A and B are shown apart, each in its own frame.
Chain A
């Protein structure tokens, strides 16, 4: 079936299979940083924002994204640049594979939570796994980013 999706403010027409999830559809549309890994809905790598809220695109039916605002990393270039700077300064970019999903979740958190505690930050980010180990650098970067006006 043919559906219309609004990705980063741009309307796209795409043909999907019945029951198809959003992640492969976005990949077909050229959003290559919307990656899949675990395929069990537990790693957060495929995170995109749907109406500003982080969701797993690997577990969201593409048809349910119709008439909603889909945001990938490309749609948040200003915030991504700010966060990328603190992330690299803290040596937390590591291999970078999980960074797109992680970054989008952090951006959503910044908009949703006002002056979060460390525990609230950790809780918000529980769904983003990093295989490089060492979440401390990421946490330092997030703390700095949250303080950036």
Chain B
């Protein structure tokens, strides 16, 4: 269990940022559902729950998700159920139970770069960006590629409304358990964007051109190629070899459904 010396509800993101950078043990608090499983010693827990950061909205070009939006809000939101074949909403539906999903926040999951995250995998298969308070807007792919979690505040998640069709698939040993593998695939302009998460490392994305999949054997070959570029690890849920085999099946099924 973690400990917090001081729990502080801030009045603005700026105030939160100033406190965050003062001490390496100061930390932004999300839903704190996963945090409780660790044993972090937090000096000041910065709480942004009073800043109206729980929202899902759209404009002409983008869908925006506020960092304090819960997974339950994402799961039940009409917009996220309608766009991209509902991939974003579907990705959170199997996470434990409704009670937990009503606590877990989008911002904490993405900012922490959780490797097991179903949500990150789905976002990564789309054209997704995040806005950091100081770091500005960067692609999710770029953010995940950085080793460390920066001392910054995730202000919003931005998904480009580009008309992608998408599919999310997940493999679990039992319902409501953490995934042993996640797969998000989207298709636009004869190109497939394949995101694989819970390898168990952070999600990665690869591109497959439609022309490379023309024949049946070519599809297997191309999928093998991108899987060889990813590392699959072993933990209590599955071996790396098994994960790789599952990934191949899920990617293939996703592509066939998106054809």
Residues of A within 8 A of B (CB): 1, 18-19, 21, 39-42, 44, 47, 50, 53-56, 58-61, 63-64, 101, 105, 123-128
User: What are the residues of chain A within 8 A of B7 when measuring CB–CB?
Assistant: 1, 18-19, 61, 63
Q: Do B32 and A55 have beta carbons less than 8 Å apart? A: no
Interface residues on B, range: 20 to 34
Residues of B within 8 A of A (CB): 2-7, 9, 29, 31-33, 36-37, 42, 45, 47, 49, 72, 93, 96-103, 175-176
Contacting residue for B103 out of A18, A42, A56, A128, CB 8 A: A56
User: What are the residues of chain A within 8 A of B45 when measuring CB–CB?
Assistant: 18-19
Contacting residue for B33 out of A41, A53, A128, CB 8 A: A41
Q: Do A42 and B47 have beta carbons less than 8 Å apart? A: no
Most buried by B among A60, A64, A105: A64
User: What are the residues of chain A within 8 A of B101 when measuring CB–CB?
Assistant: 127
User: What are the residues of chain B within 8 A of A41 when measuring CB–CB?
Assistant: 33, 36-37, 96, 100, 103
Nearest chain B CB to A110 CB, angstrom units: 13
User: What are the residues of chain A within 8 A of B4 when measuring CB–CB?
Assistant: 18-19
Nearest chain A CB to B116 CB, angstrom units: 13
Chain B interface helix/strand/loop/mixed: mixed
Q: Do B33 and A56 have beta carbons less than 8 Å apart? A: yes
User: What are the residues of chain A within 8 A of B33 when measuring CB–CB?
Assistant: 41, 56, 59
CA distance A125 to B97 in the complex (A): 7
User: What are the residues of chain B within 8 A of A127 when measuring CB–CB?
Assistant: 96-101, 176
Task: Using known A-B contacts A18-B7, A61-B7, A64-B49, determine if residue A126 contacts B96 with beta carbons closer than 8 Å.
Answer: yes
Q: Do B3 and A54 have beta carbons less than 8 Å apart? A: no
User: What are the residues of chain A within 8 A of B99 when measuring CB–CB?
Assistant: 44, 47, 54-56, 101, 105, 127
Nearest chain A CB to B66 CB, angstrom units: 16
CA distance A128 to B29 in the complex (A): 26
Q: Do A59 and B6 have beta carbons less than 8 Å apart? A: no
